[in-house]
Amino acid sequence: MINIEHVTKKYGDFTAVNDLSLTVESSEFLVILGPSGCGKSTLLRLINKMIERNDGVITVNGENIDDLKGVQLRKTIGYVIQNIGLFPHMNVYKNIATVPRLLKWNEDTIAKRVSDMLALVGLEPTIYQVKTPAQLSGGEAQRIGVARAMASDPEILLMDEPFGAVDPINRLRLQKEFRKIQRKLKKTVVFVTHDTDEALLLADRICIMNKGEIVQVDTPENIVLHPKNDFVKDFFKEEGILTILSRKPAVDYAEPFELDENPLHQDATMRDVLLTMLTTGQERVSLINGSISWDALLQIAGSDVHDSE
């Protein structure tokens, strides 16, 4: 758990983070979203003491970070940045082993951990651990970056636009994989991005920042359906609802009404259901455990709107 209370960071006359308070719950995936220069990266770097704040209190798992040395604190928090920062003079094994080695684990434990981490991010350990960063594709390098950040099994991961430099197709795959890993391992993640789709896809809660302050913190559904002001509304535009639908597994909403046709695959989302309806003209789409009608889809998409009225 991370607790941020009335934190301020100034660079000369410029206030990067202004009297900001925020709590990140354990195992929560919190995405900090905002335009560039809004102070989101600064906020992230205040948490692991990469930069010192001017005012306020930050506690990590109940401990005031002022009581910890920066070096000590950072060894317990995973950190992934946009350009990954893999060490080019070390092979993949040594890169992933960095923090375990700093923590002086014994080499057998490290070797096992490295191969577990590679398997976790979907790369064959025996092939990949001897490669150098120059031999990796962008997507592979990013996976190694995630594996490296998780090598010492930190409870908290700080990620600064980690998938920003990956091509769109690989980005979506990485996002989905990483979300699965996060759910499985129950890591607390603070994830900075300026990409609204990424935020909607990954977040348990989204914290929207502008000019060093929080504009709105809420679940993706609530933010899209009840934007607090025009800034938030403009940020998401109208397509937000599509991303919300893509977060909802279709099987969860199936009605017990079997159709005599090929069902959508098991991982299909409500967005896939909508697309199928639009492209085929059907008003009811078959699923493996039933089907979904157009009316039901409308209700699911707008459920929160109706609830609030």
Partner 1 sequence: MTVNKKGLFVAAFLTILLTVIVIYSKGFEQILYKFFSSKSENGSRTLLVVYFFEHLWMVILSSLIAIVLGTAIGIFITTSYGREFKALLLKTVNLGQAFPSPALLALAVPILGYGIKGALIALVIYILMPIVYNVVIGIEEVPKDIVDAAKGMGMSEVEVYRKIKIPLALNVILGGIRTALVINISATTLAATVGAGGLGVLIVNGVKTFDMVLILEGVIPVTLLAIIVELLLKALQQRLIWNS
The piece of 9-17, 76-84, 182-190, 247-255 that touches partner 1 (CB under 8 A) is 76-84
Query: From residue 164 to residue 203, what is the string marking binding to partner 1 with x (rule CB under 8 A)?
Result: ----------------------------------------
List all residues 6 or more positions away from 10 whose beta carbon is below 8 Å from its beta carbon.
16, 54
* Half-sphere exposure at residue 151, Cβ-oriented, CA atoms within 13 angstroms: 31
- We find the least distance from the C-beta atom of residue 51 to partner 1, in angstroms, to be 11
From candidates 30, 46, 73, 118, binder to partner 1 by CB under 8 A: 73
CA gyration radius for the chain?
21
| Of residues 144 and 201, the one with the C-beta less far from partner 1 | 144
From candidates 71, 106, 256, 308, binder to partner 1 by CB under 8 A: 71
Closest CA to 293 of 275, 306, 268, 274: 274
Give the binding-site size for partner 1 (rule: CB under 8 A): 25
From candidates 17, 58, 81, 264, binder to partner 1 by CB under 8 A: 81
36 binds partner 1 (CB under 8 A): no
Contact criterion met (CB below 8 Å) for 27 and 188: yes
List all residues 6 or more positions away from 14 whose beta carbon is below 8 Å from its beta carbon.
none
From candidates 16, 40, 43, 79, binder to partner 1 by CB under 8 A: 79
The b-or-e profile of 166-203 (16+ CB within 10 A means b, else e) is beeebbbebbeebbebbeeeebbbbbbbbbbbbbbbbb
102 binds partner 1 (CB under 8 A): yes
107 binds partner 1 (CB under 8 A): no
Residue type, 231: F
